[in-house]
Amino acid sequence: MTSAEADAILKTAADNYTATCYSGDRKMPVMRAVSTVARRALLTPDCGCLPQVIAVRGISFSPRQVVASDASFHSVSFSETDHPKVLITGGLGQLGVGLAKMLRKRFGKNNVILSDIRKPASHVFCSGPFIYSDILDYKNLREIVVNNRITWLVHYSALLSAVGEANVPLAREVNITGFHNILDIAVEHGLRLFVPSTIGAFGATSPRNPTPDLCVQRPRTIYGVSKVHAELMGEYYHHKYGLDFRCLRYPGIISADSQPGGGTTDYAVQIFHDAVKTGRFECNLKPDTRLPMMYIEDCLRATLEVMEAPADTLAMRTYNISAMSFTPEELACEVQKQLPDLQVTYNIDPVRQAIADSWPMNFDDSNARRDWGWKHEYDLPELVQTMLGSLGSDSRVAHTS
């Protein structure tokens, strides 16, 4: 890069920075110091590659200064490899291990890195690369992305709805501040970024039956607010900086091998475990509370499909996806078809009930079906059979029938 080109880039960055932060023509001394250091870095790359992005985020000079053409430069390096190199944050939650398993089958074991701040179980640790990553630590994130030449980032770290209401400051920190780090790292390194949103991104003033992609979104949980924020910021960075942001609004996800943590839809997982273990289940939502739900396999497949979809098929960057919708009573009935002795009682949790009462009852996912061919495979009877099969209820079924 010539000296004049470096100066032009730095001038644009400095103008943007001062325009954002100050009115008038004041220039910060720190900005000049940054310019000097960054200019040196631009002119003297220490490897064969030309750096296109000035990574000096520590003093708030971040992707806000990255122009769209810089972001597309990085997607060139993505096509250098046969497979994406994937980092999954919050990898030890309900979905990460399953997603890693599916992506490793497709892209190779070493091309998918699970990360979390918790210690993995030994079978997870032995199944493929695992790394410590704290999304609140930007330098740690950057080191992982750079050292592993990450090209796709799946951002699963988040506090869910019920647990978020119990600790709003922490939910804000993880779901909003942490997400800002993810956005910045994704723009700086030209990553394809997947962020799940949720039925919880809607509120009582949204149409609830069905809920379309585009409508009023005024959630009353910190979880919902943080997810609307993520949808809007991701789309804004897509338009402004060319960030390849992809987002699906998940329904409640039901899985056998992994437990959700602190959600409003958790009852629909717990019922299977309790039915198999004790034959009794106490539900914390009213029997007629209808919510959209999905089996984990459909959810993970949808995630891979939207990540692989050609960009020109994505008319939108945030899509509803749906598979089925049921109430606790309907789910219990379906489980009782196989485990007739199951006893279900109700002890309503007012926090969860209020949340559920403000969420969609049915999700309209026609845009996802039209644009990138989304199609669910599991309906309620299939879900129940599969869950009970995986949890080893066969002996109890045989016993009771």
Q: Can you give the binding site for ligand AKB, defined by CB under 6 A?
A: 160-161, 198-200, 223, 252, 260, 263-265
Residues 6 or more apart from 272 whose CB is under 8 A from it? Answer: 254, 256, 335, 387, 388, 391
Comparing CB distances to ligand AKB, the nearer of 226 and 264 is 264
* Minimal distance, residue 246 CB to ligand AKB, in Å: 17
> Is residue 223 among the annotated active site residues?
yes
Residue 332 burial (10 A CB sphere; 0-12, 13-18, 19+): buried
Q: In angstroms, what is the minimal distance from the CB of 379 to ligand AKB?
A: 19
Residues for the chain: how many in total? 401
Rounded to the nearest 10 degrees, how much is the dihedral formed by the CA atoms of 30, 32, 38, 43? -160
Q: Of the two residues 124 and 160, which places its CB atom closer to ligand AKB in the complex? A: 160
Provide the minimum distance between the beta carbon of 359 and ligand AKB in the complex, in angstroms, as a whole number. Answer: 7
Look up residue 180 and give its amino acid. Answer: H
In the bound complex, which residue of the shown chain has the CB atom lying closest to ligand AKB?
Answer: 263
Q: Which residues contact 372 (CB under 8 A, 6 or more apart)?
A: 305, 306, 309, 313, 314
* Residue closer to ligand AKB (CB basis): 130 or 223: 223
| Closer of 71 and 306 to ligand AKB (Cβ) | 306
CB nearer ligand AKB, residue 223 or residue 281: 223
Least separation in angstroms between CB 366 and ligand AKB: 20
Q: How far is the CB of 279 from ligand AKB (least distance, A)?
A: 25
41-50, long-range: CB < 8 A, 24+ apart: 42/1, 42/6, 42/9, 42/10, 43/1, 43/3, 43/6, 50/1
Q: Which of 17, 138, 156, 223 is catalytic?
A: 223
Nearer to ligand AKB, 100 or 321 (CB): 321
Q: Report in angstroms how near the CB of residue 199 gets to ligand AKB at its nearest.
A: 5
Strand partners, 319: 248
Which residue lies nearer to ligand AKB by CB, 67 or 201? 201
Tell me which amino acid residue 364 is: D
In the complex, the smallest distance separating the C-beta of residue 369 from ligand AKB, rounded to whole angstroms, is 20
Write out the catalytic residue numbers.
223
